[in-house]
Amino acid sequence: MTDTKEASKEAPPYEDNPQSHESHNSSKVTSTVTPATSKSAALCPRVLMPEQLEKLHNDAVLVSDFKQLKLEKEAQKNWDLFYKRNSTNFFKDRHWTTREFEELKACRQFEAQKLVLLEAGCGVGNCLFPLLEEDLNLFVYACDFSPRAVDFVKQNPLYNAKQCKAFQCDLTKDDLLENIPSESVDVVTLIFVLSAVHPDKMHLLLENIYKVLKPGGCVLFRDYGLYDHAMMRFKTGNKLGDNFYVRQDGTRSFFFSDDYLAQLFTRAGYEVLVNEYVLRKTVNKKEGLSVPRVFLQSKFKKVMTGT
């Protein structure tokens, strides 16, 4: 990850990939969340300096309603252009996924069980293909907002229709049941995806994946947390709303508190199993910089029928 150069200050997305750095320190601050939990953003595990708090307080001017409507209308086009510029080269393959989410292996009731996985927001397959290489007992549904990204997935030499079905989908409006049988998916991965969705539409995505998830099935979540380095370096003029910003290329990013995320999922009918802040120091040895990263890593369960 080289996110210290001026030209890439608002280039999407400031994702954490442990394999992209030889040196980074990490710690987890666990938040036990229930629907009744109520905490303020001040209890976020990253403590800001007074000048950083002042900067956030003073950044009150929002992007105009006209431009915000334009960004929403052109969201798919902006992500398609992102993949056109970067093709399959922007993200490193996520070989760390099974290490970070051991539940991918633990979800099996017996070792040889074939799991059905939905990767919601698959991009160009940086998570998908390492998983299929590591685990032959997987069938993966993979969808993305960008038609171009889905084309890259299908063109990958590792793509095999016997193991995977890739399709384009706007998860906030396209019914997943058109491509996936009802309650047939064991695990949904939602990794650096929900942050790109307008906050007013996030619940629609969660309700959509709920329909294809088996009772007792899980959503494995990882995304940007409140006060992450990427949030703190947005300049005035990029703010769309509370914790919601637009990058120079028109793609957008939301930064989650644990409370906000827990409420989103519980309102959509999920049970919160894990909801953790993950704190990291991303080190760029060449530039001599160390920047604080804040992510949320969580696990949610579709409640069993009759419980």
CATH number at residue 244: 3.40.50.150
- Which residue did the predictor score with more confidence, 36 or 196? 196
> Could you tell me the residue range of the domain that residue 96 belongs to?
6-302
Inside any domain, residue 211: yes
Q: Considering only CA atoms, which of 14, 33, 79, 41 is closest in space to residue 243?
A: 41
Q: Which residue has the higher pLDDT, 229 or 72?
A: 229
| Nearest to 220, CA basis, from 187, 195, 269 | 187
Residue bearing the bigger pLDDT, 189 or 43: 189
Residue 307 within a domain:
no
For the stretch 203-230, pLDDT in tens is 999 999 999 999 999 999 999 999 999 9
Most confident among 97-106, 124-133, 266-275 (mean pLDDT): 266-275
In a domain, 1, yes or no: no
pLDDT band with cut points at 50, 70 and 90 for residue 245: very high
List C-alpha distances in Å: 125 to 40, 98, 110, 200. Answer: 36, 15, 27, 27
Q: With beta carbons less than 8 A apart as the criterion, state whether 50 and 303 touch.
A: no
Smallest CA-to-CA distance from 222 within 288, 295, 170, 129 is with: 295
Counting the structural domains of the chain, the total is 1
Quick: pLDDT tens for 106-144.
777 777 788 999 999 988 888 888 888 888 888 999 999
Asked if 97 contacts 17 with a C-beta cutoff of 8 angstroms, the reply is no
